[in-house]
Amino acid sequence: MARLAALVFALAVLAAACKRPTKPDASSGLPHAILPAVGDHLPTAFPYADFVGAEACKECHRNEYDGWTRSPHGRSMVPASVESVLADFDAPPLAVADGTVTFSHGPDGFFMEMTAQGGKEKRRVDLALASGRQHQLYAVRSADGTTSILPAVWSTRAKTWLPLSLYQPTELAPSARNYWGTRDMLIGCASCHVSQAHRAVKGGTVASAVVDLSINCESCHGPGREHVERRRAGRTDDVYRDLRTLSSVEESRVCGQCHGFQLKRYVFPPAADGLPQIFVTSLINDALRPDGTQHLTSYQYPGHVLTAGFARNQLRCNDCHGPHGLEARDKDGASAAGDASNKQCTTRCHAQLVAPASVAAHSNHSAKTRCVDCHMAYSWIGDDETRHQRTSDHSITVPHPQETIDLGTPNACNTCHTDKSPQWSLAALKKWGRKDALVAREWVETIAMARKREPGATARLLALLTKPGTPTYLQASALDLLVIQPLDPSVLAVVAPFATDIDPDLRAIAIRALDAHDVQGRAHWRALGLADDHPFVRMETFSMIKDVETLAPADIDRDLSDVLSYMSPPSDGLVHLITVRHRRHELPEALALLDLFQKVTLPQEQRALNVDMVRGRIQADIARAGAKPP
């Protein structure tokens, strides 16, 4: 859902551009070769034909397949049925801000009826979304291809219905601005809740398809057709990805595809090592707290990559979570469910804490205290208990009550001792001699200061960048936060080396920071970014340039090619390019791009842009400029 923000921003920019009078176009009025050969299909960045689906894996891996079908991955999105729907459709109606949602069921399925000003609308549930560990949502498919989330959410923990408006703007009336039925969940949710989403353009009609509705084996292991064909042919040699052999960094790229907050809708082919290329939002994003814990939707990647175990290549997701059933386990693969959860920490890592007496002495609590109680405390998503949704701290740190006092972030002590103050927790830790828990961490303070653009934040960010051992994710966050700080030429010396770093994420963010602080060298940094070998750096550089008259035609053409090749769907990239052309007074080119937008987008995306309004504005400007449409 959050990924719609980029498109919404681009739409607003385009709408503003359409309202401004344009200057006469000095060109011939005819577009140059602006459209690459897109053929009859929308290019995608993954080899769609090389995927076979989870059913093919069942032939040889029945135990793993059965575990997967019971897991949250295997139930991320499934057809609605008596077995899959967890909610109480006999429950009383749910009152929401602008009406009522009524529930019912029968032999022909499960239903929600929305009553609002202007009438009633009854829809049958087609899909159940989310595994149900905390929530389950329900979706319907419309004739125009839209898949929309119905406006009531079932809390499996509280056993009650909640309004979808707790999570995103939602209205019941079809005429309302935030009408639930016009928001396509496949735009924002599909990349993580279904497998290998694919969009094709056939005969002028856009169609979407997926390999599997749920998160399948190939989402983690990669395309499996060649593996399956070799096995069926009796061959034992393999090209398939064995996740057991991956380092912590390598594995994080697999899990981070979904458990990190991905930037925009970039879909790049695998890197040279065959693993996914991911670009995760930094701590500039308020979906995360300054300490890396999840404030909004549960993305565990930031916390995980900030752990000491990750830095030492001693901690992988696979060490604590079974890869197929996702059950809790220890490093030897034995169950660590329920009361055995401490085994996740003591097996091969903290063996000195196996004995109950050791646990009691270490924790200053009873021997029944679990490691996760203090080191992976839960916090409420959105700091809002009414959502009935919690997530655990995957940075696996000690409690920091001083950060609660100074910054308002949660800490493990007061998660349990809700009747006590952070000052009380701090005093207890001091009494026990827990020196590492008595102060706010310097890097957390720096992130919090920089978010607020406080005086001194720039110097602290530069110090964080140059401090030995700073994790790559924190470096990316520091660079990102430098972009929003007041102009400071001293940034140049520290940040310039990152513009040629081996990591394309660091390169892209460094170029943005240099663009903000090195006014004299701005043209150099932009040229460097636009010519980068990696399309992510090129597209990020292109999207930051607001004075679009400085762009060369070749830069615009290359960005269009990148958008069509590496964005899925390409809608927000195309909207930005239309805006660029319009602002440059290249009106026929803008109109041609609008035609392309219609060719490769779904009706709901075209409604969001209001294509007819935009087309009318551009045509009117063409008429005023005396240019001819293509």
Domain boundaries, the chain: 4-40+444-625, 43-72+194-241, 77-174, 243-440
d(CA 584, CA 550): 9
**Confidence category of residue 483, pLDDT binned at 50, 70, 90:** very high
d(CA 577, CA 430): 57
d(CA 134, CA 392): 13
Pairing, β 198-202 against β 205-209:
antiparallel
**Confidence category of residue 186, pLDDT binned at 50, 70, 90:** low
pLDDT at 627: 53
pLDDT at 42: 54
Residue 629 has pLDDT above 60, yes or no: no
For residues 452 and 41, which has the higher predicted lDDT (pLDDT)? Answer: 452
Residue 261 has pLDDT above 50, yes or no: yes
Give the pLDDT mean for 304-315: 93
d(CA 249, CA 502): 15
Task: Please choose, from the candidates 323, 322, 321, 319, the residue with its C-alpha nearest in 3D space to the C-alpha of residue 310.
Answer: 319
pLDDT at 64: 95
From first CA to last CA, the distance across the chain in angstroms is: 36
Residue 4 has pLDDT above 50, yes or no: no
Alpha helices in 283-365 (DSSP H): 301-305, 308-311, 317-320, 343-346, 356-363
Mean pLDDT: which of 54-58, 380-384, 386-390, 525-529 is highest?
525-529
Residue 119 has pLDDT above 70, yes or no: yes
Residue 40 has pLDDT above 50, yes or no: no
pLDDT digits (tens, 9 = 90+) for 359-376: 999 999 999 999 999 999
Pairing, β 160-163 against β 135-141:
unpaired
pLDDT digits (tens, 9 = 90+) for 558-582: 999 899 888 888 888 999 999 999 9
pLDDT at 146: 78
Provide the CATH topology of domain 4-40+444-625.
Leucine-rich Repeat Variant (1.25.10)
pLDDT at 14: 35
Lowest mean pLDDT: which of 3-17, 429-443, 503-517?
3-17
For residues 5 and 436, which has the higher predicted lDDT (pLDDT)? Answer: 436
**Confidence category of residue 618, pLDDT binned at 50, 70, 90:** very high
The helix (H) or strand (E) run that includes residue 259 is helix 248-259
Residue 328 has pLDDT above 60, yes or no: yes
pLDDT at 112: 98
Give the pLDDT mean for 48-63: 90
pLDDT digits (tens, 9 = 90+) for 270-309: 888 889 999 999 999 999 999 999 998 868 999 999 999 9
Lowest mean pLDDT: which of 87-91, 115-119, 541-545?
115-119
Phi-psi region of 335 (alpha: psi -120 to 50; beta: other; left: phi over 0): beta
pLDDT at 230: 93
- How many of the other CB atoms lie within 10 Å of CB of 78? 19
d(CA 390, CA 295): 10
For residues 171 and 205, which has the higher predicted lDDT (pLDDT)? Answer: 171
